[in-house]
Amino acid sequence: MSDFDDLVGVAWSGLRARKIRTLLIMLGPIIGVAAMVSAVGLTESAKGALQQQLSQLGTNLVIAQAGGSFGSQTPTFPGDAVERVENVSTVESASATTNLSGVIALPIKGASTYYEAFPVPVRASDDQLPGVLGVPMVSGRWLNASDTRLHTLSVVLGEGIAKQYGYLPGESRTIDLSGTNFGVVGVLGAVPLDPELDNAAFVTQWAAQNVFHTNGQPNQLYIRTQPDATQATAAVIPTAINLGGPAQSSTQIPSDVLQAQAQANKTLQQVALLAGLLALTVGGIGIANVMSISVIQRSPEIGIRRAVGHSRSKIGAQFLLESLFVGVLGGLVGALLGIVVVYTVSAFSGWVVVIDYAQIPLWMGLALLVSITAGLYPSIKAARLEPLETLRLG
Amino acid sequence: MADTPPAGTGAVRPHPLLELESVSRVYGEEIEVYALREVSLQIHPGEFMSIVGPSGSGKSTMLGLLGVLDLPTSGTIRVAGQDVSLLDDPTRSKLRGDSIGFVFQQFHLIPHLTAVGNVETALLYRDLRPKERRDRCRAALEELGLGARADHRPVQMSGGEQQRVALARAIVTEPLMILADEPTGALDSTNAAHVLEIFANLQSPERAVVMVTHDATVARRANRMISMRDGRIVGDEYRGEEPR
């Protein structure tokens, strides 16, 4: 049994002997840590659903839009824009779509007046689009190489338009695209980063060029970049596409908007953190106060311990260890309490719980630091106590 | 101590357990108050000594110095041959814990600890396994007839029992000297007689027992009586058994 084990036993029994007092001085670290854990937890969890969605979508999607060019109504990119973009080293994958603005899609014969007034956008796309967007198919399949090679007249619907058309999964259905019937082969899932795609119908580039007689030059590029290089990549993409010519495109990072929405209320968080810190500090002063009084109350105990051979440093360590236990236990209970608060409030508010567990040891360490600092003065006082003065000899 | 002669042979005296050499203890800085003035005293193994005197005679100061709870302003105190003024606090504390067992008038038991817990305080920081430490403490309590009270707290015990717990705490370390301050002061006559009886039995050829008291009847139980007045030793008489 080492001296340290003995010391731990002595300090622990000292705390246990005064349970109410121990609990009361523990309230400081408990409230402080609980406040800090719940402050961060609650402000983050309030935006938890958005943050969760964002982490699924990824923040590394860049959309490039062709800018206005002279002499053409619909601005376009060069036909090999995807290859050019993929030359940028930070680009992981890219896909192009072409707006077929002249094509009228009619899901039902006889509804032409309505659909001519409010046309469904039709886009030609390569076979990469769902992969780049990271969006799964709701049903069926995406356009693929066979469609191009076999010249099939296939169309994929966005999720929104599929609902509007009343399309059932697996249903054998044709849609009239400017007088040609196209067979529906699949439905693309919702695309939160570009909701326009939800209401579009997609055909192959082959169909765009050979059925609708367009030049097949894309208008939009969807680009996935390396996760930490999104901003930089977005900045160089116009140059990469136009190869040094005048920039005729603009880029945007659609997740930026979402990200701004998902940002926790930092001001609120800081105010609550400050309140927690204040609780911890006041709690520390409380510990110092109570421990100082305790040293006076327990001076006979200190005297007798000195008499039976405990050194000054052992007495000091005993009291310091008591405040250390208060800090450790208070921090632990406070962290648990904070987590419970976050889970409870989130459950009632329908939030997705976001707790940064890596931060919690930091708060607990802070509680420990405050407790030890608070215990320093009483410990030194206890160690300096003269046994003769405390034992009231006859 | 194999070379200690049996009591009463009057042969070679063993080395003193504790030795005071012209020790003075002065309190106050601007106005100096001599609590003890040029006192010299030797305490030998086997002695049962009482220190008597009216209040203010320097008894308490003497007790503090004998117990190495205090240091002299001038002069030398040697415990087992070591000058205590030259030791650092941890070493002096260890020396105190190893060689001296204290018994106080007010018992000074730690209220939140049981009898066995109180006795255990004397055996802490000694590299003992908890089981061994506890066994030794229970044995000491058993020896003083408190086996059944081992797990009781001080408030659950009578004054006499509490003082016996304090005695167990004093003897569990097997000290060379038991130092008692008015050990019967807070007890009724029956309990006082019982405790004095135990004290008389604690004395052994290796161990000295020193009692500080103002009660002449208690003091007369000892076989050496030191009288103090105004910070000086004014009497040193051997009673009963003659010095060895």
pLDDT in tens, A110-127: 667 777 777 888 999 998
SS3 B101: strand
Indicate if A274 and A349 belong to the same structural domain.
yes
Residue A73 lies in a domain: yes
Residue A380 lies in a domain: yes
CB pairs under 8 A between A and B: 100
pLDDT > 70? residue A245: no
Q: In which band, very low, low, confident or very high, does the pLDDT at A244 lie, cut at 50, 70 and 90?
A: low
Tell me if B238 sits within 8 A of B10, measured CB to CB: no
Residue A364 lies in a domain: yes
Indicate if A205 and A314 belong to the same structural domain.
no
Lowest mean pLDDT: which of A84-88, A300-304, B166-170? Answer: A84-88
Check CB contact under 8 Å for B127 and A18. no
Check CB contact under 8 Å for B127 and A387. no
- Overall number of domains in chain A: 2
Question: Measured between CB atoms, which of B94, B130, B182 is closest to A394?
Answer: B182
pLDDT score at B11: 47
Output the DSSP codes for A116-147: HHSPPPEEEE-TTHHHHHT--EEEE----HHH
Q: Which residues of A touch B59 (CB under 8 A)?
A: 394
Indicate if A154 and A225 belong to the same structural domain.
yes
pLDDT score at A7: 93
Indicate if A305 and A361 belong to the same structural domain.
yes
pLDDT score at B244: 46
pLDDT score at A249: 79
**Mean per-residue pLDDT for B204-230?**
90
Helices (H), chain A: 3-16, 19-46, 48-57, 81-86, 112-117, 129-133, 145-149, 159-165, 205-210, 230-242, 255-262, 266-297, 299-307, 312-349, 360-384, 387-391
Of the residues B79, B102, B169, the best mutation for testing chain A's interface (the one with the most A CB atoms within 10 Å of its CB) is B102
pLDDT > 50? residue B10: no
Question: Per-domain residue ranges for chain B?
Answer: 18-238
Q: Which pLDDT tens digit goes with each residue over A210-229?
A: 998 888 788 899 999 988 88
How close does chain A come to B9, measured CA to CA in Å?
35
CATH match of B18-238 with 2.130.10.10: no
**Mean per-residue pLDDT for B1-6?**
44
The residues facing A184 across adjacent strands are A155
pLDDT score at A257: 76
Picking from A209, A232, A255, the residue at the C-terminal end of a domain is A255
Q: Which residue has the higher pLDDT, B9 or A186?
A: A186
Indicate if A216 and A282 belong to the same structural domain.
no
With a pLDDT cut of 90, the percent of chain B lying above it is 62
Q: Which residues of A touch B181 (CB under 8 A)?
A: 391, 393-394
Check CB contact under 8 Å for A388 and B129. no
Q: Which residue has the higher pLDDT, A257 or A45?
A: A45
Residue A326 belongs to domain spanning: 3-47+264-391
Check CB contact under 8 Å for B121 and A304. yes
Tokens matching residue A261: 């929405």
Picking from A255, A280, A306, the residue at the C-terminal end of a domain is A255
pLDDT score at A72: 54
C-alpha distances in Å from residue A166, one per residue of A59, A161, A162, A187, B109: 32, 8, 6, 12, 88
Question: Measured between CB atoms, which of A13, A14, A307 is closest to B67?
Answer: A307
Lowest mean pLDDT: which of A66-75, A295-304, B39-48? Answer: A66-75
Q: In which band, very low, low, confident or very high, does the pLDDT at B187 lie, cut at 50, 70 and 90?
A: confident
How close does chain A come to B22, measured CA to CA in Å?
21
Euclidean distance between CA atoms A371 and A326, whole angstroms: 7
On whether any CB of chain A is under 8 Å from the CB of B87, the answer is: no
| B164, B165, B167, B172: CA torsion to nearest 10 | 140
Euclidean distance between CA atoms B64 and B72, whole angstroms: 10
Relative to beta strand A137-140, strand A180-188 is antiparallel
Residue A310 lies in a domain: yes
Indicate if A219 and A287 belong to the same structural domain.
no
C-alpha distances in Å from residue A121, one per residue of A20, A81, A213: 72, 22, 17
Q: Would you tell me how many other CB atoms lie within 10 Å of the CB of residue A216?
A: 18
**Mean per-residue pLDDT for A343-360?**
91
pLDDT > 80? residue A29: yes
Tell me if B135 sits within 8 A of B160, measured CB to CB: no
Indicate if A10 and A150 belong to the same structural domain.
no
Euclidean distance between CA atoms A40 and A51, whole angstroms: 14
Relative to beta strand A122-125, strand A91-99 is antiparallel
Tokens matching residue A303: 């005297």
pLDDT score at A106: 82
Indicate if A199 and A219 belong to the same structural domain.
yes
Tell me if A154 sits within 8 A of A204, measured CB to CB: yes
What type of residue sits at position B52?
Answer: V
C-alpha distances in Å from residue A347, one per residue of A262, A330, A335, A359: 19, 25, 18, 22
Indicate if A200 and A301 belong to the same structural domain.
no
Question: Measured between CB atoms, which of B96, B125, B212 is closest to A6?
Answer: B125
Residue A144 lies in a domain: yes
- With b for 16 or more beta-carbon neighbours within 10 A and e for fewer, the A31-57 pattern comes to bbbbbbbbbbbbbbbbbbebbeebeeb
Euclidean distance between CA atoms B17 and B45, whole angstroms: 6
Residue A9 lies in a domain: yes
Q: Which residue has the higher pLDDT, B77 or A2?
A: B77
SS3 A331: helix
Q: What is the DSSP letter of B204?
A: B
Euclidean distance between CA atoms A217 and A99, whole angstroms: 9
Picking from A255, A281, A315, the residue at the C-terminal end of a domain is A255
Indicate if A372 and A292 belong to the same structural domain.
yes
Residue of B218, B213, B168, B219 whose CA lies nearest to B193: B218
